[in-house]
Amino acid sequence: MRTFNLVSTENYTYQIINIIVKSAFYFLPVLLAYSSAKVFKTNITLALVLAGAMLHPNFIAFAGAEETITFLGIPVKVLDYNSSVLPIILSVWIMSYVYRFVNKHMPDVLKVLFVPTTVLLIMVPLQYIALGPIGYYAGVVVSYPILILYETVPALAGFIMGLFRPLTVIVGMHKVFTPIVLQNLANNGFDYMLPSMMMSTMAQAGAVYAMFYKCRKADRPLVLSSSISAVLGITEPALYGVLITRKKAFFSACLAGGIGSAFLALFNFSVKSWASSSIVSLPIYIESGGMILPVAGMAGSAFLGFLFVMLSVKKEEEPDTEKTTQKVSSPVKGAIVPLSQVPDQVFSTGVLGNGFAVKPEDGLITAPCNGTIAMFADTCHAVGILCENGVEILIHIGLDTVKLNGTYFEALAKTGDAVKAGTPLIRFDLKEIEKEYDPITIVVSPNGILEP
């Protein structure tokens, strides 16, 4: 609202909304204390108290004191820990050991009162004196090289970040950048990395949308929905569902993201608050650097991703929908009936393919054609054959006979065996099986047309 001058910053409605937006970041140490306590398997309540001590108004007021702040004669460095990341994580980590030690050695009758008291009396001063400053300056050290890189060779820094962003997401390393971004915002009041991430996301959206015109018709619903998700900042469907299996499209997205990121970095574009890599974050980008640069960067990245894919990726061929006809003999002696008469919808509706069924008169299953045994069920109630012409055939003996766990069945062949029409495959006890189960034998092919 402030970006488009829809409301004054003096307006109370704006100020309340601003509080809602910034509360999570101001009290970020509290949120991190909770998650850190779960990771380090320590007391969550005490971890939250540590975070509260960092942000306590009285501690913050010490910053205005003229004299040196001390605790038992030891100097205390007063720092602004709001929105900080590493100080509370380090403090909760150390607290996990202190808590474990104190809780182990404290008598049971005193634990309820004295364990939390003892832990806090140790940890809060230690946090003020050492752990907080160590974590604070460690964050500065980690973020400083990236800041220098963006300020000395901005185009190169932006290109590298945008180029490799999709790769970091695939291997899960993208989460490493979150504390660095937060540290940049806390220390410097701005961040260069978020715009690079945004350009990469828009490039992926453009590349995936181009694949809509290159992919098979059956894949288009997935591709289109992945493109829309990417525009909204969710790139996992685009990466894992579309790009990662198409190398040229993936590299096109990486390259476009690198160029778009380099463009913004060249103008030292940064954002002044946290913003997700989503089109809905556009107002934050406009507020940070005007409308022209962020809009041009997002549109340009998406366009380049689209263009590179259209130029480099060949249109995928539609799969051959024509099925090969395979003449087969009945695998078991008996009357042949259509699948529609099988009292099981999985087979009767043709979900597993076309074929026929046999009402067996004896207990011997033979190969219906020349080929190779591609699958032999451990329970011997089903066998799959790959015919010489590539047609796949499944022979399934009875309904629900898998529940017999191989009882009344005997394997006469094994997976990998070459067979001729009539080769014995399975022997089964028809009389025993039909006492409990329907022994009707189904013969289906998912990729061919069977002619008995």
Q: Which residues are catalytic?
A: 396
Burial of 427 (0-12, 13-18, 19+ CB in 10 A): middle
Rounded to whole angstroms, how far apart are CA atoms 236 and 255?
Answer: 18
Q: Which two tokens stand for residue 387?
A: 């015919």
How far is CA 88 from each of CA 52, 81, 101, 133, rounded to the nearest angstrom? Answer: 10, 9, 20, 10
* N-terminal to C-terminal alpha carbon distance within the chain: 73
Place of tokens 């289906």: 444
Interhelix angle 154-171/132-152, rounded to 10 degrees, is 120
Nearest to 440 by CA among 337, 321, 354, 352: 337
**Is the distance from CB of 379 to CB of 410 less than 8 angstroms?**
no
Rounded to whole angstroms, how far apart are CA atoms 215 and 218?
Answer: 8
Task: Provide the strand spans (E) within 41-141.
Answer: 70-71, 74-75
